[in-house]
Amino acid sequence: MSETGTSHSIFNGIRVRIGFLIVGTLAIIVLYCLAWAYPTFPGDEATLIRLQSFRSEWLDAMAVIFDNLGSLWTVLPGVVVLTVFLFLTRRYADVGLFMGGLVFVGMGKVLKLLVERPRPDYQIIEPFASGFSFPSGHSLFAVILGGVLVYWVDQWVGPKLPRRVIQILLFLVVIGMGASRVYLGVHWPSDVIGSYLLGILALTGLFWLREAWPVIRNSLG
């Protein structure tokens, strides 16, 4: 392929990604405005009640485990250790990727205050969660961290089988986190979906910047 053709291909790729991010951002804004206007979406209550109809002791225990996994004091030591490791191994682009993900997690807390959607009246395990409902902070953190870990596993784990097994397990943890929030009655299903969509959009932009970092670094001299 000629140099002109290569440049044209790269330009088209950049244009498609920017277009996706713009459309995705607009869709997220519309979704969050609807969440601000309506306390629930169609199907929210029925889905929550249906999920809680499977209640059992072992599901309660699993949901509590997921709840604890998403708490600040549980994840903070891991966040610190991982950040120090990335710095010591001079993976500065990955530090930026990780920190960028945490910024979006913090943004989720701000959005929750802006949307002000009440939590469901279906909480089943004390202590009951307080504050607002949309988006789900646990779910947003899970999809951001899970997505970053899936990306790193793809980069750092060589053999295909263990790489895929680890990635599937991470995917199941992300899904389990969202399901547990609805099962516990602390979030509506749409709270979780809103978090997943925001997280996917954020990861799309962060991965793009991560891949472009070598080019950006070289252009800066």
CA 156 to chain centre: 21
Which residue among the candidates 138, 144, 186, 189 is catalytic per the annotation?
138
3-219 classified as CATH 1.20.144: yes
Do the Cβ atoms of 149 and 170 come closer than 8 Å?
A: yes
The pLDDT, as a whole number, for residue 55 is: 92
Digits of tens for pLDDT over the chain (221 positions)?
A: 444 555 555 556 677 788 888 999 999 999 999 999 999 999 999 999 999 999 999 999 999 999 988 887 788 888 889 889 988 988 888 899 999 999 999 999 999 999 999 999 999 888 888 889 999 999 999 999 999 999 999 988 888 899 999 999 999 999 999 999 999 999 999 999 999 999 999 999 999 888 876 666 666 65
138: annotated active-site residue: yes
8: annotated active-site residue: no
pTM, two decimals, is 0.88
Exposed (0-12), middle (13-18) or buried (19+): which is 159, by Cβ within 10 Å? exposed
The pLDDT, as a whole number, for residue 3 is: 46
For 123-142, give the DSSP string. --SSSPP-S--SS-HHHHHH
Which residue among the candidates 112, 119, 187, 210 is catalytic per the annotation?
187
Domain ranges of the chain: 3-219
